[in-house]
Structure 1
Amino acid sequence: MVVGVSMIGAGYWGRNLLRNLQAADEVSLLSLCDTDEGKARRLLGEYSTVPVCGSIDAVLEDSRVDAVVIATPVATHCDLALAAIEAGKHVLVEKPLAASASDGAKMVQAAKDNGVVLMVDHTFCYAPAVRRLAAMVRGGELGEIQYIDSVRTNLGIVQPDVDVLWDLGPHDLSILEAVLPPDVRPAAVSAVVSTPSHLGRPASVHMSVRLSNGAIAHAYESWLSPVKSRRMVIGGSRRIAVWNDVDPVQPLVVYDRGVDPAGPDTGAPASYRSGDAVSLALPGDEPLHTMIGEFVDAIAHGCNPRTDGEAGLRVLRQLEAASVSHASDGGFVTLAAGEGDQW
């Protein structure tokens, strides 16, 4: 099946989506829509035959367009997605799904009512390392999850429309959902932020997610670091996995090391295990390419993608809980029933 697609938005992330849409055999890119038509033409390049338009109306009226990909400022996601959904188009939205959980809920309900696919671009959920981590966690290879630590920092990009929590937080929260076993869910969220006066918005955040099994997942995210870091440690009762996404040689290493209960006659509080460390081989699949393939499959077969609207909505609810937390001195905000549930 070849899906006719129009992309809306020719900004920073749009160029990455555009490249993968053009490379996908199962996609026919019919148009690029942006209010700045000159920017859209420059993004396509002078030799492209893909037409440019400045209004979404032209996209929605085109019967050849089966689906739209939205890569625009967060505040526009809901209105653009609802218009597309009501026109019978399937929708893929850049993260986060919407600017609020209430908007996200409207989008999810509209997609159900109109029988179309709604998917959010939680890119890292399609990374080979995350898929391998999910298999290890859910297969019991790491044992019971005891803690998760993530560091996601860089020098910028300072977003004009969202703070660092809403910019980088969706990555860690969506990865958390992708790897946790079905019987473990986020139960409460806390966040403490730093807001430099010259930026006027939070630029660093320490976010903690209390899990239903008593473990804690922690993420430090910042726009202010001179060193790019994308590192996650998943500590289990049997093994510990370390994913370093900026290490091209050993991106995923599993350590047979940990702290075990001491024997009853040792008099020590714990014993320490120091076994082998194994570097795992990973395929070189580009996450965006895999994600677009899953979007097409969901349209063709009527199935839910792993990052469907419901998954995006759960992330929004956790982001809102984190926002409430940092506005009230960083205390834990309990998630209501269903807000952290797995799909």
Structure 2
Amino acid sequence: MEPLRVAVIGAGYWGPNLARNFRSCPDWDLVAVCDLDADRARRVVGPRSTVDIMTSTQELLARDDVDAVAVATPARTHAALGLAALEAGKHVLVEKPLADHGAAARRLVTRAAELGRVLMVDHTFCYTPPVLKIRELIADGSLGDIHFVDSVRINLGLVQPDVDVFWDLAPHDLSILDFILPGGLVPTGVAAQGADPLGAGRACVGYLTLPLADGAIAHVHVNWLSPTKIRQMVIGGSKRTVVWDDLAPQQRLTVYDRGVDLGDTLPDRTTARVSYRLGDAWAPAMPEREALGVMVAEFAAAIHQGRAPLTDGRAGLRVLDVLESTSLSLADGGRMVGAVGHEVLKARQPVGSGATA
């Protein structure tokens, strides 16, 4: 197929990474980079590039030679730019978060479906080899039924001036959970406990509890104050457990054939026979590919095939719903609250359904 023509809006922190991967992907032809600062956009494309430098999004979206746009601007602008691009007939990729609040994200998802345009969220971690392998292991039944997920993302990080530690770090873990769990991340409730020992005016340490269907549970620990950096996720199933250590490059994934099996209930009906399964552990082989390269190729494939991308607008909305519920719970002293908006997001959109949001 002929390469699709794409423009990147935003040449700040993330835009250059998107531009580089669009340029190197045979599915795409990068035709323009748009930024209010023309010099910054020029630095992204290089002095001898034929890629156009633009400073007006209105002029960019009016072009007939642009099939899709990638929005890499501050979160507060995502909804307005995404809607304008959809109305101009473009397919849209949005840097996470999809929007700065759920209502705006819903407008994006609804309008993309009405216009038959692909709306994709750049949940980059979902396209890393370990997360793709975890998704595969869950989908093919290798882990069995999921019983629990423990995720830890802590380091001595920058205390953000405008968001708490949940909104800063947890979107990574939540997007991964949404990607790997069958049906997406649809918890039965959300409970958040946070602490502000620095007096920064926002939670710097946080613990997020997400009860899931069928008695399973997910727990996310995020922290700006830890002197050690840990990026680890444990996914326990009825058959096997997988441990992902993102800071162990030689063996980032380990699958354990170990666990607990319950036998018959004893005559007193209060306890059951417990046996322990002590099997082997192994490290699955994984190709080393840049996640953003996989992501932009998936964006092109979804457009060509007229289907929803793996991280579509609904995935971004589910993550926002949990974050907004987190803020509600935190403000109410950690009480378990219902997940915002999940009445319309109870399942993934089936592949081949025709709608592309």
TM-score tier, shorter chain, comes to over 0.9
Which region of structure 1 is more displaced relative to structure 2, 332-341 or 74-83?
332-341
Letter of the 2:301 partner, please give it: D
Superposed CA deviations along residues 194-218 of structure 1, whole A, max 9, x for unmatched, are 3365644333321111101111101
How big is the shift at 1:89? 0.8
SS in 2 for 1:35: coil
SS in 1 for 2:84: helix
- Could you tell me which residue of structure 1 aligns to residue 58 of structure 2? 57
- Could you tell me which residue of structure 2 aligns to residue 238 of structure 1? 239
Correspondence 1:1-343 to 2 at 5 A:
1-159=2-160, 161-182=162-183, 185-195=186-196, 197=198, 199-261=200-262, 270-335=274-339, 336-343=342-349
SS in 1 for 2:152: strand
How big is the shift at 1:229? 2.4
Letter of the 1:270 partner, please give it: V
How big is the shift at 1:64? 0.6
For the aligned residues, what is the CA RMSD? 2.3
Letter of the 1:235 partner, please give it: G
Whether the aligned pair in 2 keeps the contact of 1:262 and 1:271 (CA below 8 Å) is yes
Letter of the 2:344 partner, please give it: G
CA distance in 1, matches of 2:282, 2:201: 44
- Would the alpha carbon gap of residues 11 and 148 (structure 1) be closer, same or farther in structure 2, given more than 3 Å must change? same
Letter of the 2:136 partner, please give it: A
Count the aligned residue pairs. 343
Whether the aligned pair in 2 keeps the contact of 1:93 and 1:121 (CA below 8 Å) is yes
- Could you tell me which residue of structure 1 aligns to residue 352 of structure 2? none
Superposed CA deviations along residues 159-195 of structure 1, whole A, max 9, x for unmatched, are 5554332232222122112211349842111112233
CA distance in 2, matches of 1:161, 1:31: 31
CA distance in 2, matches of 1:80, 1:259: 50
The two structures have a TM-score, normalised by structure 1, of: 0.92
SS in 2 for 1:187: coil
Whether the aligned pair in 2 keeps the contact of 1:101 and 1:317 (CA below 8 Å) is yes
CA distance in 2, matches of 1:243, 1:128: 11
Letter of the 2:343 partner, please give it: A
How big is the shift at 1:86? 0.6
SS in 2 for 1:30: strand
CA distance in 1, matches of 2:184, 2:303: 29
SS in 1 for 2:249: coil
Identity of aligned residues (%): 49
SS in 2 for 1:124: helix
Whether the aligned pair in 2 keeps the contact of 1:189 and 1:332 (CA below 8 Å) is yes
CA distance in 1, matches of 2:184, 2:107: 28
CA distance in 1, matches of 2:151, 2:329: 19
SS in 2 for 1:337: helix
CA distance in 2, matches of 1:96, 1:196: 27
- Would the alpha carbon gap of residues 250 and 183 (structure 1) be closer, same or farther in structure 2, given more than 3 Å must change? closer
CA distance in 2, matches of 1:284, 1:304: 25
Letter of the 1:168 partner, please give it: L
Superposed CA deviations along residues 260-301 of structure 1, whole A, max 9, x for unmatched, are 225778x98533222211111111122111111111111112
CA distance in 1, matches of 2:297, 2:185: 28
CA distance in 2, matches of 1:95, 1:82: 15
Superposed CA deviations along residues 216-243 of structure 1, whole A, max 9, x for unmatched, are 1011123333433221100112211001
Letter of the 2:234 partner, please give it: V
- Would the alpha carbon gap of residues 29 and 160 (structure 1) be closer, same or farther in structure 2, given more than 3 Å must change? farther
Whether the aligned pair in 2 keeps the contact of 1:105 and 1:313 (CA below 8 Å) is yes
Letter of the 1:295 partner, please give it: F
The two structures have a TM-score, normalised by structure 2, of: 0.89
CA distance in 2, matches of 1:196, 1:48: 50
Whether the aligned pair in 2 keeps the contact of 1:230 and 1:246 (CA below 8 Å) is yes
Letter of the 2:177 partner, please give it: L
- Would the alpha carbon gap of residues 75 and 183 (structure 1) be closer, same or farther in structure 2, given more than 3 Å must change? closer
